[in-house]
Chain A
Amino acid sequence: MLGMFALFLFLPALMPFLGGYTYLGTEIMIWAIFALGYNLLLGYTGLPAFGHGAFFGMASYYLAISQRDWTSGLWIPLLVGIVGTTICGAVVALFVARKRGIYFSLLTIAFGVMFWFLVFVFEPWTGGEDGVTGISRLSVGLPGLFEISLRDNLAFYYFVYAFFVVATILLWRIVNSPFGQVIQAIKQSETRARALGYNTVRYKWAVFTVSCAFAGLAGGLYVLARFGAFHEPMSLHQSGNVVLMCLIGGGFASFYGPVLGVAVFLMLRDLFSTLTDHWMLLYGLLFMGIILFMPEGILGLIKRIRQPAAFHDTQAAEAARTEQTVTSAPSNPKPGGSS
């Protein structure tokens, strides 16, 4: 984790060599917060929510509208974005937490599309296609002591960096906490978790809500980054992107999978779009390849290569040997088969 933080600390200095720029680094960290929070659902609880972009985008509007119409500050609108998104997520979670498998996915898509349409329904507030523009980043600091303007991209980078560090540590604690153990247990066998006394619906509700809080933070930072709130992050297409980011990086195999996925996703987007106008085609082919040949993502592949194969082989061999003696032993005459 420290390695990752150190890398991002010096990333603005390294970016020119990687063919990037500071703003790309900012974008990576914002999407990484979103993807890490989303991976609580996808990777840790095994809940494939396909409309999560709605919460990311929703936070943008909460922040933008509250800054435009209510208070011109920075912190309160950011908080409005997080709290508003969390509450909205909690309400949606009431409906989706009871659903399983494909029904869960479909319902999250339905909610995602619904929120996206609401942007156009409430056009007088949201600006519809035009979005809410003219958002100011203002400055942070202690009155009278120091003040740093966030208009500068480098300053803003480190502003986002602080949130990225805090969010990553929070999420790391969450996945290793008792709560985190329970959601991973639910992913492996929900029936067993229930038999152990866990109200799995309540846990799924909670994890959905928590992941929405992180989507709210990321969406808020994104609006500051772009000086405006727009509808496209809410579209189904963007909701799909966060799923891809998690999968490519290896969200099932590693906590850091989503971060790597976001970085690869955004950097390739920039790279391919400079190469050809049909960059989406290249992009699509690449992702198909990754899903086909690296189903557990980049970190999943690395993990498998690095794991001492011998350990597993002996284990498997021993298991097979015991199994053989188990089944080959004469068994008692049993009335009937298994019920």
Chain B
Amino acid sequence: MPDFSESQKEQTIRAYLHYFAETEIRPRSLEADRMADIQPDFYSVLDRAGISTEMMPRDPGASRAGQSGDGPREHQTLRTAVLASEELSWGDASFMLSLPGPGLGGPPVSFIGTREQRDRFFAIFQDKSRPRFGAYALTEPEAGSDVAGIRTRCEEVPGGFRITGTKTFITNGSRADWVVVFATLDPELGRAGQRTFVVERGREGFSVGRKHHKLGLRASDTAELVFQDCFVPEENLLGGRAHYERQQSKEGFKVAMATFDSTRPLVAAMAVGIARAAAERARELVSERYMLSRALPRYRAILESLDDMDRRVRAARLMTWKSAYLADARQPQSRAASMAKAYAGGQAVQICREALELTADSGEEPDPFLEKWFRDIRVFDLFEGTAQVQRLVVARRLFDEIGAKVGL
């Protein structure tokens, strides 16, 4: 039976993260946004608070059917991660994206990497002497949604590969200790020609291009990465050659795409956190500004709007929870994950806009948090799969249910 109960432990974790978001993230949020950087002292606070991305599934493979040797014990990793994502993003999603750890580079290493590679690349996060980051570099200036169209080339040379090309919009790109890089042996080969590497910072031929100036999530580092004949040894080819032999039967591509099934719920949860923050703030401001001076019936529309926002936040959260639950229960959740991201992303943009509209009044300065969240939220319908791509996935799954090949 569907069950929405929360254990004492879960309540405690959530309350603690919320407290951390309220006392450590929010006070830094506006300044970090202005500086387009996270304050350095945040990382020692993070460390002292014991918050790390270990609460995120380090091995999302454990949540995927058939990917791990774990028994039938019920996993809760993605559900816990989703709760954490929402609370921390309620604080500031830029800070959430700036948490040390493998970040979006984690899932490919977990899914595709050999045991040795997983040990090697994840080992650096044990060193807490400074914040360490992973990154995920797929997008290029000319290839966003069209993943098969990437042009960063990798050429086989003795002992490894040489990589040449440019990657763009890479989160934590300028400070990552290593980056998961997607390149192609030959664009004509399409997906069959794609290879995935881990490139460590400091390799010759790998440099950081410009940092992007963005509409929102300004404090999150987003950079361009440039590869010019960057040599990468054989042992950095993720999964080794054996993986690509399997990929000829589309196994590898399927696995690569499966990583999105675990990150989409997390991204959806971030959108829910921002939307919830905006809805709560709007309600606070409306209450403060219309105290005791006007008769209620004139403001029915406001209350209806607030009620509507609450409902949409709740619906988005439930869709996100459901996709996380399905992942934990090792059931197929590609459609649920895409629905959660599309719904949460789209609704959150509307909610943030409505929050701003509700509270804007001539003669009053717009609330800086609402403005910031309005700017921040827009990317949630763009990264990790655009709104259109998510709808494509959902629609394709709808036709898959009846075995229809419509050519979508």
Q: Do A and B come from one complex?
A: no
